[in-house]
A and B are shown apart, each in its own frame.
Chain A
Amino acid sequence: MSFGASSVLKHALQVGVGVVGGALGAAWLSPHEKVSLAAPPNQVTMNASAIAAEVEARLNQRYALASSQAVVARQTAAEATSALPAPDEPPELSREQSKQLLLREFARDLNAHAADARDPNWARPAESSISEGLMAAHDRNFEVVSVDCKTSTCVATLRWKTRKDAEAGSARAAETVLQPNCESKILLHDVGARENVDSPFEEKLFLNCVAARAE
């Protein structure tokens, strides 16, 4: 056990000496490093103690430079390590997991819309126009229950005779070109235990009109 510890210590010391030696060597060879131990011509008459002091000062200067280079090297190595992909990438989501994620995103969009403030100057004409546009979709198989607009989003509640009709016609609702020109999204919720598959089915069409408002 003690042999193992001393061996580790020995290796650590060797590495440490190597790093410092390397850094000092790099400082010595560095092309932008202009410090020289050769005395300038006008100081050739310096005494021994003055020369020793000068040497020590210049060595300290080199050590400081080597230390700063070592810090930069450590920072660069840390940055390079952080740029590497994480060893434990999240596994690919299953169909059910990704569906739940999509449904949560849709619910978040609807909640954000519900919590948003209403700009009546934009919302009122937008609601009328969207309602007319949806009803004018000639090949629609849905009824427009309501349209609610806020500041830059709208939600249209649509009703189909059955869920099967909704499955067949919900894409048409999303594709309908409306004014304002918004991005559209619709996701059909699963029929709950208390719902009848053949009973009328309602779903919300979410309209993101941020780009249209920015124009």
Chain B
Amino acid sequence: MQKKTRSLSFLSLFVSALLSFGICFASRAKASDRRISVAACTVGGFSTTCPFIDETAFLASAVTVLNANYGTAGSYSARACVNFWNTTGSACGTAGSSGGTGQVTIPTSSIWSTANTNHFKYISVDANSSFQGIFAHRP
């Protein structure tokens, strides 16, 4: 009888833990995508810079996929950068290359890491009339 009671209490503990776990994770935001049109970018003669809205719901440090898209295949490059919030200066990560396609995969891991949380993020891409915009994904 005592054994049965103990089993029941353990079962209720397990079920409540499972429910709490489910509720906590259900309230978390799902994976999402963001598309930044060229219309939001500053188009220069030789380079174009696009802003990245680094907000709580879509933190730059959580971005796992970042790419620049061009309408025509070609050799393009792009890189993720930050403007320092507390002094005049900037830093950029390594550049990604399209390798003859219309899409550049941009590395973000180090430059948009949590170490640079406070700085303002943006993307620098090769200027080209076929540039369409930026795609970002976070899990």
Partners in one complex: yes
Chain A residues close to B by CB (< 8 Å): 95-96, 98-99, 102-103, 106, 137-139, 166-167, 170-172, 174-175, 177, 181-188, 211-212
Does the CB pair B46–A186 fall under 8 Å?
Answer: no
- Given A137-B46, A139-B47, A174-B81 contact (CB < 8 Å): yes
Complex formed: what's the CA distance from A182 to B81 in Å? 12
Name the interface size band of chain B: 20 to 34
- Given A137-B46, A139-B47, A171-B81, A212-B94 contact (CB < 8 Å): yes
Complex formed: what's the CA distance from A152 to B107 in Å? 19
Is B86 close to A, CB under 8 A?
A: yes
Shortest beta-carbon distance, B94 to chain A, in Å? 5
Does the CB pair B84–A138 fall under 8 Å?
Answer: no
- Given A171-B81, A177-B77, A183-B111, A138-B90 contact (CB < 8 Å): no
Shortest beta-carbon distance, B46 to chain A, in Å? 5
Shortest beta-carbon distance, B121 to chain A, in Å? 13
Q: Which residues of A contact B126 (CB under 8 A)?
A: 177
Chain A: which residue is nearest B45 at the CB level? A139
Is B129 close to A, CB under 8 A?
A: no
Q: Which residues of B contact A170 (CB under 8 A)?
A: 88-90
Is B132 close to A, CB under 8 A?
A: no
Chain B: which residue is nearest A106 at the CB level? B89
Q: Which residues of B contact A171 (CB under 8 A)?
A: 81, 83, 90
Shortest beta-carbon distance, B11 to chain A, in Å? 18
Q: Which residues of A contact B86 (CB under 8 A)?
A: 95-96, 98-99, 102
Given A99-B87, A211-B94, 12 further pairs, Cβ under 8 A: A98-B118, A139-B47, A170-B90, A171-B81, A175-B79, A175-B90, A177-B95, A181-B95, A183-B92, A184-B91, A184-B92, A186-B90
- Given A98-B86, A188-B87, A174-B92 contact (CB < 8 Å): yes
Complex formed: what's the CA distance from A186 to B90 in Å? 6
Q: Which residues of B contact A187 (CB under 8 A)?
A: 84, 87-89
Is B44 close to A, CB under 8 A?
A: yes
A167's contact among B46, B77, B84, B88, by CB below 8 Å, is which? B88
Is B103 close to A, CB under 8 A?
A: no
